[in-house]
Amino acid sequence: MAIEKTDKIWHNGKLIPWDEATIHVMSHVIHYGSSVFEGIRCYALPTGPAIFRAQEHIERLVNSAKVYRIDLDFTREEIVKGMVETIAHNAVWPCYIRPIVLRGYGEAGVNPFNSPTEIYIINYPWGKYLGGESEGCDVCVSSWTRLAPNTLPAMAKAGANYMNSQLMKMEAIVNGYAEGIALDIHGFVSEGSGENLFIVHHDKLITPPLGNSVLPGITRDSILQIARDLNIPILEQMIPREMLYIADEAFFTGTAAEVTAIRSVDKISVGTGTTGPVTKAIQKEFYAIVHGEKTDRHNWFTPVPVRNKQPVSV
């Protein structure tokens, strides 16, 4: 999906014009992938724009930076405030928000310590990803394995990690699928190229634990909470590949994917090949919350104060 530019981008505490948010070609991040980032949605609630789970996303951003020994000059509260400021100024919502911390222009070489830290916050309109609410998608098991322990930290949302995701995504696309599912180094199900994975088997909701090279997804955590609210039994356990084929239902979760049903895996229909009842119930509850049809009972939203509370972009 093409990026639609907005007016300003937050850079190290100040709003700057979109076209001035540039980095030098010798920036460390370009040569060595030294960045951590987040993907966050701001929804158009009846009360106005609101950021979904802003605090949790920025906590993960700070944790990712800590894993990679990137010192931040801004607190979590200041970064959340920066997101609010950017959305309010650009007056574009619903939207996607991309905070990114990167190593900038300093010295050449793998050693990152002498390269300055830059923080940017960007927001822009963005719609559905994969199959959306009702359709679902056809996926394959990737030939590319997820990151192994003690190679790259899977719990950190780092730019370098997504080279692995790109290989999975490209392989899926050229073979006619919407997405790929990676296995971990032991052959158990891990996640998609940019989504967490759930299956339903014998009326239980099952998802791989973080130890299977799984990113601790914020939407994943939200779905686990929603499942508890709906009294759906939950298991976090290792999932053998063949369970993908005999599952009654399967779906992806993520900021981009939200809750997207999986129709088939490796051309084998998941259940009836349609969105199943458990997936539908979770989708219904999730979208009712993020569209403001139900109250924010878990305090997941950070409101963005604006003068005009009507959606500006869809």
Residues 202 and 256 in one domain: yes
| Residue 303 included in any domain | no
pLDDT at 10 over 80: yes
- Select which of 14, 81, 128, 157 is catalytic: 157
Integer Cα distance of 75 and 52 in angstroms: 19
- Confidence at 133, pLDDT banded by 50, 70, 90: very low
pLDDT digits (tens, 9 = 90+) for 220-261: 999 999 999 999 999 999 999 999 999 999 999 999 999 999
Residues 143 and 282 in one domain: yes
Residues 201 and 160 in one domain: yes
CATH number at residue 35: 3.30.470.10
Residues 102 and 143 in one domain: no
Please give the DSSP secondary-structure letter assigned to residue 117: E
The answer to whether residue 81 is catalytic is: no
Residues 141 and 286 in one domain: yes
Residue 210 belongs to domain spanning: 137-290
Which residues are registered as beta bridge partners of 189?
183
Phi, psi of 304 (to 5 degrees): -110, 110
Segment 91-119 shows an average pLDDT of: 96
pLDDT digits (tens, 9 = 90+) for 190-216: 999 999 999 999 999 999 999 999 999
**What pLDDT does 69 receive?**
97
CATH number at residue 164: 3.20.10.10
| Residue 1 included in any domain | no
- Among residues 127, 158, 183, the one where a domain terminates is 127
Residues 102 and 120 in one domain: yes
What is the C-alpha radius of gyration for the chain, rounded to an integer number of angstroms? Answer: 19
Segment 63-88 shows an average pLDDT of: 98
pLDDT at 134 over 70: no
Contacts of 270 (CB under 8 A, 6+ apart): 244, 247, 248, 249, 250, 262, 263, 264
Integer Cα distance of 155 and 176 in angstroms: 29
The average confidence (pLDDT) of the chain is 95
Residues 247 and 104 in one domain: no
Residues 286 and 168 in one domain: yes
pLDDT at 126 over 90: no
pLDDT digits (tens, 9 = 90+) for 142-174: 999 999 989 999 999 999 999 999 999 999 999
| Residue 299 included in any domain | no
Structural contact between residues 30 and 21, judged by C-beta atoms closer than 8 angstroms: no
Residues 141 and 264 in one domain: yes
- Among residues 70, 98, 127, the one where a domain terminates is 127
